[in-house]
Amino acid sequence: MPWAHRLDRWVSSASRSPEASCLHCRGVKLLCGRPACPVLFKIRAYAPLAPSLQSTQVDGSSPPDIFIGRARYPRVTVGPLVPPYRGDTSILAEPERWLQLSREQIVKGRLSLVRGVAEVDARRPLGRMLEELVELGISARPAEVEMELKSKPVLKTQLDPDSQPFGPSAPLRDLKAGGVKADRRIEKAYEDTDLKASEAVLQLYRGGVPVSAIIRALSLGALGLKPRRRLVPTRWSITAVDSMIGLKLISELRSFEELGEYEVYEAEKLDNKFVVVLTPRPWSYELIEAWYPSTAWNLSSESIAVGSDWEGYYGRSSYASIGGCYYAARLAVAEHLYGRRRQAAAVVLREAYPGHIMPLGVWQVRESVRLALRQKPARYSSLQEILEHISERMLMPLEAWLQVSRLLKPGRQAKLVEKGMLRGRNI
């Protein structure tokens, strides 16, 4: 990180005045303090694609992918995502493969996906078009799609914190899909109208279906008991799948032996660094995020913005305050421990650096933590050694991490165990 030694200088020099708005800046003055404007970044990535999107007809290979909005639930907007070209577009809907790409490649690829929009009642998803969308959504390979739109597609600058970006949209008039080949595993769950959605999600996961494909199937109402099937906004289905799988794995790994030593894993991708700490204690989990000034979710502060949440041995009863990232990281940790037949107290530390100017979706957290846990760990015999490792490897001072952490403070874990907050009482 060549800019790390200049951290204090750029923090103090960044403009944070009330006038630092997009209206006054227009992407030129960078009044928000970011190293680049996310709106212009998106527009520039889209510009080369714009000439091919000047028609109400879109003909291309859907990865496949579908997006379902949530703004007016239960009235939702639903539609396919289709690029204006044909070929193997599968990577555009497989975030499991995106860490091998640059931010520019991810954004440009996703912005090429045109979204046709139809408004329906999520509780009564009926009609030929929706049947076509389900068939498209459970396809195992890119499908040839022809969309007729009611107007030319328009690119919006909206950035969703949980869902991956997509390109311009327009009302959908008609849809035709060909070359659809269903993933037999998902198709089987779709045809089983007596299988509960939670059971279907776990069955598909254990059958090797990627999390992204399970999310799409749940979102389309392709899983669950027939009378209760409905469309689920994409953002909700992402967290639902991460949470359901994670909870099941955690419920089983609690019976495993505790880890025998202290371990720390690392990964750094797309201007984010993740450090995963595993300690030999009963299951508990914590996620702490440190957003540096001029990053996606820290625009106006002159200091690092920190958010955290945690759970003890028996989990939590409320939604995590830091949103879907909490459940995405928890899933990655749970599947790692489950695969090793061990339980541990896990702490995930995230630093988001200035190059992280726009959100890419919670997939980035899930896949980055997975990547970290595939690396060779550093092993230690005490928590104090882990803290020294964090102090050396993270930019934010150790004291700042300890100030918000429930699980990293020396002696704190033992006290929590005594109080029954790690084992014995639900928080």
The predicted-structure confidence for 383-405, as pLDDT tens digits, reads as follows: 999 999 999 999 999 999 999 99
- Structural domain count of the chain: 3
Out of 118, 152, 178, pick the residue that ends a domain.
178
Pair 192, 155 in one domain: no
What CA–CA distance (Å, rounded) separates 204 from 193? 15
* Structural domain harbouring 91: 33-178
In a domain, 153, yes or no: yes
What CA–CA distance (Å, rounded) separates 394 from 379? 17
Pair 74, 157 in one domain: yes
Pair 273, 362 in one domain: yes
Pair 293, 333 in one domain: yes
In a domain, 8, yes or no: no
Q: What is the CA radius of gyration of the chain?
A: 22
Model pLDDT, residue 10: 31
Pair 144, 42 in one domain: yes
Pair 135, 208 in one domain: no
Model pLDDT, residue 15: 34
Pair 228, 275 in one domain: no
Out of 162, 178, 194, pick the residue that ends a domain.
178
Model pLDDT, residue 23: 38
Pair 193, 274 in one domain: no
In a domain, 170, yes or no: yes
In a domain, 414, yes or no: yes
Model pLDDT, residue 233: 96
Model pLDDT, residue 219: 97
In a domain, 106, yes or no: yes
In a domain, 12, yes or no: no
Out of 141, 157, 178, pick the residue that ends a domain.
178
Pair 221, 325 in one domain: no
In a domain, 150, yes or no: yes
In a domain, 10, yes or no: no
The residue ranges of the chain whose pLDDT is under 50 are 1-20, 23-24, 26-29, 424-427
Model pLDDT, residue 34: 61
Model pLDDT, residue 155: 79
Tell how strand 114-121 and strand 169-178 pair up.
parallel
Pair 43, 75 in one domain: yes
Pair 225, 107 in one domain: no
Pair 236, 305 in one domain: no
